[in-house]
A and B are shown apart, each in its own frame.
Chain A
Amino acid sequence: MNTNTNPQPINPERIAVLLTRAAGQLDAGTVTALRRARNIALERQAQRKPAFALSTGHGAHWPAPHSSHQWAATAILLMTVLAAGMSYCHHADEYETSHLDVAILTDDLPMEVFVDR
């Protein structure tokens, strides 16, 4: 007696053909909606300009410049910060030197001058 209850195996490729046939019979409203969705997506692609984006791979992006104007502004900003930093270091050094000179002349040197650092 045959007790085999396993169903007859299917042919996945044949199933795929039937599914494709069903997808080809979508109603006009759905087809129109899909076309509209496609056009919206294509408009979004058109709006997007090539950019140097540093992707972290998790959907987040570093704020990198996207145009020549932004690159120029970034360069100017960096140069300004660099110049300000150099100027600050120079003035701090100068102030410390003059402060020590005054202290030597008035014989009022602070204790930390005699301590090895």
Chain B
Amino acid sequence: MLPFALLQGAIKLASPTELSGFLGSVERRAYKQALFAVHNEHTALDIVQDSMIKLAEKYGDKPAAELPLLFQRILQNTIRDCYRRQKVRNTWMTLFSSFAPKDEDADYDPLESLEDSENRSAPAMPDESLQQSRIIAIIEQALGELPARQREAFLLRYWEGLDTIETAAAMGCSEGSVKTHCSRAAHALAAALKAKGVEPP
């Protein structure tokens, strides 16, 4: 009597509705994570789509409770794969760049525009919202400039709400490393806010 009833209750597999709900709840954060990592909207969207497809194809029938950790592992691995491809591409680009004419706009960083509090083309906002937007922009920029492992640990731990053990499992490292990465990331974010003259939230 015991095994079947217990087993059915304990191993509740994710239905398409549950998977859809899970993906819907995580897709924006996943996109932002990818965007912080690769600084390109199209690439970030590709990463999220690839991760979703891998989750649905390979682990779509796993219990719903396992989906968050599985998805984060897939997402982080997909981001790392993208880094590797970029590295190979950059090697070739560097090789051929000496033959191409110098591009004047090559050093333009679109994130710089996020800091532009003097931008008068932006719609008028209340002071508090404006200040908050500025803080968000600074935080996002600082996150984008963090070393990949620190950013990964910080976002998984504090934004995705994984505990230290789950974060370590998703990152494929020890719990001690997770704590170190999180601490350094928090310190770097605080320093970035201080450098911009913003009170840490």
Contact = CB atoms under 8 A, between A and B. Distances in A.
B28 to A, nearest CB: 4
A57 interface: no
Contact of A10 (B49, B61, B186): B186
Contacts of B182: 12
B193 interface: yes
A63 interface: no
Contacts of A42: 16, 19-20, 23, 56
Contacts of A8: 190, 194, 199-200
B31 A34 contact: yes
User: Chain A binding site: helix, strand, loop or mixed by DSSP?
Assistant: helix
Interface string B53-95: 1011100110000000000000000000000000000000000
A19 B159 contact: yes
Contacts of A48: 56-57, 60-61
Contact of B28 (A7, A9, A24): A24
A2 interface: no
Interface size class of A (residues with CB under 8 A): 20 to 34
A33 interface: yes
B28 A23 contact: yes
A114 B3 CA distance: 64
Interface in A8-28: 8-16, 18-24, 26
A28 B135 CA distance: 23
A68 B49 CA distance: 33
Contact of A23 (B29, B52, B194): B29
Interface string B10-42: 000000100110011001110110000000010
Which of A10, A21, A34 has the largest count of B CB atoms less than 10 A from its CB? Answer: A10
B186 A34 contact: no
Contacts, number: 113
A41 interface: yes
A44 interface: yes
A37 B48 contact: yes
Given A7-B191, A45-B56, 4 more contacts: A11-B200, A13-B158, A30-B41, A34-B48
Interface of B: 16, 19-20, 23-24, 27-29, 31-32, 41, 45, 48-49, 52-53, 55-57, 60-61, 132, 135-136, 139-140, 154-155, 157-159, 182, 186-187, 189-191, 193-194, 199-201
23 contacts: A8-B190, A10-B186, A10-B193, A10-B201, A13-B158, A15-B139, A16-B159, A18-B132, A21-B136, A22-B136, A23-B28, A23-B32, A26-B31, A30-B31, A38-B20, A38-B24, A38-B27, A41-B23, A42-B16, A44-B56, A45-B19, A45-B56, A46-B16
